[in-house]
C-alpha cells in the first residue's frame, strides 16, 4: 500500500517527537512492504516566523492532498501575549476546521510496565483502558461571537444538532467494538448547551440498543477518572471538557507524553500526541515520543485500515516500556533514555 502522509512537526518538542515517529513509520513500511509518500509543511510558531501566518495556504493545500496528517505540537512562549488569532495555536484550530475532523479520539490506557509511574495508587490505575471522544470543531473554541472589550471579554458555547449527532455516532460505533458502554459528559445542571447535548445523545443512542449509555456531570467525571477509571469504556464529551479531561488521562497513563490522539472526519485523519510543545524541555532530546508513536499506530488503524501494522507498533511500545529504556518523565530506575533512543528502540522492537 502507498501511504501518503503529511508531516507537520510544528514547534518545540513537536519536531523531536515527530522525527522519532517517522523513524517508526519507516520501519513499519520496511517490515510490512508499504511505500511511504511523505511531505512536510509548516504549522504554528515556525510558520509565523517563515510566512507570517500560523496556517499558511500551502500547508492547507498539502493537508488536502495527503491521506493523513501527522502533527507534532505547536506553541512558542514568545507569542504568549499575542491575540488568539495570531498565536501558533490558531494554526491548529484552522487545520482542524479545514479538515473538518470533528471527532478526537484519545485512548487512555495504563500499560502494565507503567503502573508504578502513575502518582495514583496501583490498585486504582491498573487495567484502565478507555477512549475519550472529544468533539473537536464546535463549542467554546469556535463559537461566535467572541472578543475582548475594555471591561469585558466573551466567548460563545454553541452546538448544532448535526454536530452533536455525528460525534455521538462515532462514540457509539467505537463502543460497539469495545466494552459496549458510553459515558456522555456534560454540565446539564447549569448549561443549556449541555441540556441540548444530552437530549441529542439520548436520541442517537436509540439506534444502538446493545450499547449502555450513562450521563455524568463534568465535575464528577474529573473526580471519577482518578477515583475509579476502570468504570469508563468510551467517554463522549464536548470540546472544552474533553480538552481538560484528557490531561487527567495523562496521570492515568503515567505521563502526558504517553497519550496519542486521532482526529477523524468524514474523509481525512489528523494524528498528533495530546501534549503541547513543552518549551521547558524543548531542544534537549528529553521528550517522550511514545504519544507521537502511538499516533502513528492510530493512523495505521483508522486511516489505512492496517490493523496488523497498528498492533505491531503498539506491541513494540509495550516491549520498550517493559525494557525500561524510557524517557525521564516515566521516572526510569536507571539513566533516562533520549527521545531518539526511544524511537530507535521501538523501531528495533518491531
Least separation in angstroms between residue 218's CB and ligand NAD is 19
| Enclosing H/E stretch for 47 | helix 45-51
Footprint of ligand NAD on 12-41 (CB under 6 A): 13, 17
For the bound state, the minimum distance from the C-beta of residue 4 to ligand NAD, rounded and expressed in Å, comes to 23
- Rounded to whole angstroms, the Cα distance separating 335 from 275 reads 23
Indicate whether 263 belongs to the interface with ligand NAD (CB under 6 A).
no
Site for ligand NAD in 230-259 (CB under 6 A): 255-257
**Among positions 329, 337, 338, 343, the unique one binding ligand NAD when judged by CB under 6 A:** 329
**What is the contact mask toward ligand NAD in residues 120 to 139, using x (rule: CB under 6 A)?**
--------------------
Residue 345 binds to ligand NAD (criterion: CB under 6 A): no
Query: Does residue 74 belong to the site contacting ligand NAD (CB under 6 A)?
Result: yes
Whichever of 96 and 188 has its CB closer to ligand NAD, that residue is 96
- Closest distance between ligand NAD and the C-beta of residue 246, in Å? 10
Report the candidate in 253, 237, 74 with the shortest Cα–Cα distance to residue 170. 237
Q: How many residues bind ligand NAD (CB under 6 A)?
A: 23
Q: E strands, the chain, where?
A: 2-10, 35-40, 68-73, 103-109, 129-135, 147-148, 153-154, 181-186, 212-217, 234-237, 262-264, 269-271
Report the nearest approach of ligand NAD to the CB of residue 150 (Å): 25
Binding piece for ligand NAD, criterion CB under 6 A, among 22-30, 103-111, 217-225, 280-288: 280-288
Q: Which of 63, 193, 213, 281 binds ligand NAD (CB under 6 A)?
A: 281
- Residue 288 contacts ligand NAD per CB under 6 A: yes
The one catalytic residue in 11, 186, 243, 329 is 243
Q: Nearest to residue 68, comparing CAs of 302, 273, 269?
A: 269
Q: Which stretch binds ligand NAD (CB under 6 A): 50-58, 263-271, 277-285, 340-348?
A: 277-285
Q: Is the peptide bond before 145 cis (omega within 30 degrees of 0)?
A: yes
Asked if residue 92 binds ligand NAD (CB under 6 A), the reply is: yes
Of 199, 219, 267, 280, catalytic? 219
Asked if residue 73 binds ligand NAD (CB under 6 A), the reply is yes
Q: What is the DSSP letter of 68?
A: E
**CA gap 93, 281 in Å, rounded:** 24
Query: d(Cα 338, Cα 14) in Å, to the nearest integer?
Result: 15
Sign of dihedral through CA atoms 245, 324, 283, 53? negative
Please report, for residues 68, 71, 237, 284, the alpha-carbon distance to residue 136 in angstroms, rounded to integers and kept in the order given: 17, 16, 10, 31
Choice from 15, 110, 246, 277 touching ligand NAD (CB under 6 A): 277
For residue 166, what is its C-alpha cell? Answer: 455525528
Task: Give the dihedral sign, CA 163/178/245/82.
Answer: negative
CA distance 3 to 287: 26
- Among 116, 247, 267, 280, the active-site one is 247
Binding site for ligand NAD (CB under 6 A): 13, 17, 73-75, 89, 92, 255-257, 272, 275-281, 287-288, 291, 327, 329
Active site residues: 141, 187, 219, 243, 247
Amino acid at each position: 500500500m502507498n501511504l501518503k502522509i503529511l508531516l507537520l512537526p510544528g514547534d518545540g518538542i513537536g519536531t523531536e517527537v515527530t522525527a522519532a515517529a517517522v523513524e517508526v513509520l519507516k520501519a513499519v513500511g520496511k517490515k510490512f512492504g508499504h511505500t511511504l509518500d511523505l511531505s512536510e509543511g509548516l504549522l504554528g510558531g515556525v510558520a509565523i516566523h517563515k510566512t507570517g501566518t500560523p496556517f499558511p495556504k500551502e500547508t492547507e493545500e498539502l493537508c488536502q492532498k495527503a491521506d493523513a496528517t501527522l502533527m507534532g505540537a505547536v506553541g512558542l512562549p514568545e507569542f504568549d501575549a499575542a491575540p488568539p488569532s495570531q498565536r501558533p495555536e490558531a494554526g491548529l484550530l484552522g487545520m482542524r476546521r479545514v479538515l473538518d475532523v470533528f471527532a478526537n479520539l484519545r485512548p487512555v490506557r495504563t500499560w502494565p510496565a507503567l503502573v508504578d509511574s502513575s502518582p495514583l495508587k496501583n490498585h486504582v490505575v491498573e487495567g484502565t483502558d478507555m477512549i475519550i471522544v472529544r468533539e473537536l470543531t464546535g463549542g467554546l473554541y469556535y463559537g461566535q461571537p467572541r472578543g475582548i472589550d475594555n471591561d469585558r471579554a466573551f466567548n460563545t458555547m454553541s452546538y448544532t444538532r448535526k454536530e452533536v449527532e455525528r460525534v455521538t455516532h462515532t462514540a457509539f460505533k467505537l463502543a460497539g467494538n469495545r466494552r459496549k458502554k458510553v459515558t456522555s459528559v456534560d454540565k446539564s445542571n447549569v448549561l443549556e448547551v449541555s441540556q441540548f447535548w444530552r437530549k441529542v445523545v439520548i436520541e442517537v443512542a436509540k439506534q444502538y440498543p446493545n450499547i449502555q449509555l450513562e450521563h455524568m456531570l463534568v465535575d464528577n467525571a474529573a473526580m471519577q477518572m482518578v477515583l475509579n477509571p476502570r468504570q469508563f469504556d468510551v467517554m463522549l464529551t464536548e470540546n472544552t471538557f474533553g480538552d481538560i479531561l484528557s490531561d487527567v488521562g495523562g496521570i492515568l497513563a503515567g505521563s502526558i507524553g504517553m497519550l496519542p490522539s486521532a482526529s477523524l472526519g468524514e474523509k481525512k485523519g489528523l494524528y498528533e500526541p495530546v501534549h503541547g510543545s513543552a518549551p521547558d524541555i524543548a531542544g534537549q532530546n528529553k521528550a517522550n515520543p511514545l504519544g507521537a508513536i502511538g499516533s502513528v499506530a492510530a493512523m495505521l488503524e483508522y486511516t489505512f485500515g492496517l490493523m496488523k501494522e497498528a498492533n505491531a507498533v503498539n506491541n513494540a511500545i509495550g516491549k520498550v516500556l517493559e525494557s525500561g529504556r524510557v524517557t525521564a518523565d516515566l521516572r526510569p530506575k536507571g539513566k533516562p533514555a533520549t527521545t531518539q533512543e526511544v524511537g530507535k528502540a521501538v523501531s528495533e522492537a518491531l
